[in-house]
Amino acid sequence: MNKQVNTVLFDLDGTLIDTNELIISSFLHTLGNYYPDRFKREDVIPFLGPTLKETFESIDAEKVDEMIAVYRKFNLSQHDLLVKEFDGVFQTVQQLKEAGFKIGIVTTKVLMVVEKGLKLTKLDSLFDVIVALDHVEKPKPDPEPILKAMELLGSKPEETIMVGDNSHDILGGKNAGTKTAGVAWSVKGKEFLLGFNPDYILDNMTDLLDILEVEKK
């Protein structure tokens, strides 16, 4: 590719850091409080990606704020026990930064939790911009957060690639006019992501270095 790409935007959860067990546990804990024995692990997998508000509204519109509070309290209490970085992530992001790429995070998580995850995985010094749920009116797949990140970085859509583990990331990138890459380690599976026609699928994050023609160290 891809000499014209100079900007890489990453989703956070399930893409850079492995928060899958934390998120699944947090949903099971929260929903178990309200609906004992109703939700199993496979039932909450579809909830990975949308905002908490969207998910809990689909279950009980009247208890949304209460459920989010229960979720976040448990999520924060278990965060450092359950979160780790995916293989190849630190190396890839560091090498992209050294090669002069502009790097950002676009996530449906609130900033406080984003910063906690980045600090824990030692990724916190590597990103030029973070666009979190607090910063936008409309989350992915709406293009707003991706357009905002590009504006902050001074980047154009044709110079940018959006990397993520969910349909929201691929569709958000397409809606914003960027190139897109899905990650094969998505909890929803490689085949699921292929259904949204990303430009690339990464089997390991270091594949991004090959795509962007950055020499691996």
Q: Please give the CATH superfamily to which domain 7-18+85-211 belongs.
A: HAD superfamily/HAD-like (3.40.50.1000)
Please answer whether residues 198 and 181 qualify as being in contact, where contact means their C-beta atoms are separated by less than 8 angstroms. Answer: yes
Where are the alpha helices (H) located in the chain, listed in sequence order? 20-34, 41-44, 52-59, 64-82, 89-98, 111-120, 144-153, 167-176, 190-194, 207-211
User: Over the stretch 24-71, which tens digit does the pLDDT of each residue have?
Assistant: 999 999 999 999 999 999 999 999 988 999 999 999 999 999 999 999
Is position 11 annotated as part of the catalytic site? yes
* pTM score, whole prediction: 0.93
* Predicted confidence (pLDDT) at residue 89 exceeds the cutoff of 60: yes
- 49 or 151: which carries more pLDDT confidence? 151
* Predicted confidence (pLDDT) at residue 217 exceeds the cutoff of 90: no
Q: Do 7-18+85-211 and 20-82 share a fold?
A: no
SS3 164: strand
pLDDT-derived band at 1, boundaries 50, 70, 90 = low
20-82 adopts what CATH topology? DNA polymerase; domain 1 (1.10.150)
User: Over the stretch 99-143, which tens digit does the pLDDT of each residue have?
Assistant: 999 999 999 999 999 999 999 999 999 999 999 999 999 999 999
* Predicted confidence (pLDDT) at residue 171 exceeds the cutoff of 60: yes
SS3 117: helix
Catalytic member of 11, 13, 18, 169? 11
**Which amino acid, 162?**
M
Instruction: List the end-to-end C-alpha distance of the chain, in Å, as a whole number.
Output: 19
Q: Pairing mode, if any, of strands 102-106 and 7-10?
A: parallel
> Mean pLDDT over residues 72-79, rounded?
96
For the chain, the domains span 7-18+85-211, 20-82
**Residue 205: CB atoms within 10 Å:** 23
* Predicted confidence (pLDDT) at residue 2 exceeds the cutoff of 70: no
- 183 or 216: which carries more pLDDT confidence? 183
Cβ partners under 8 Å of residue 92, min gap 6: 205, 206, 208, 209
pLDDT-derived band at 3, boundaries 50, 70, 90 = low
Q: How many CA atoms lie within 13 A of 193 on its CB side?
A: 27
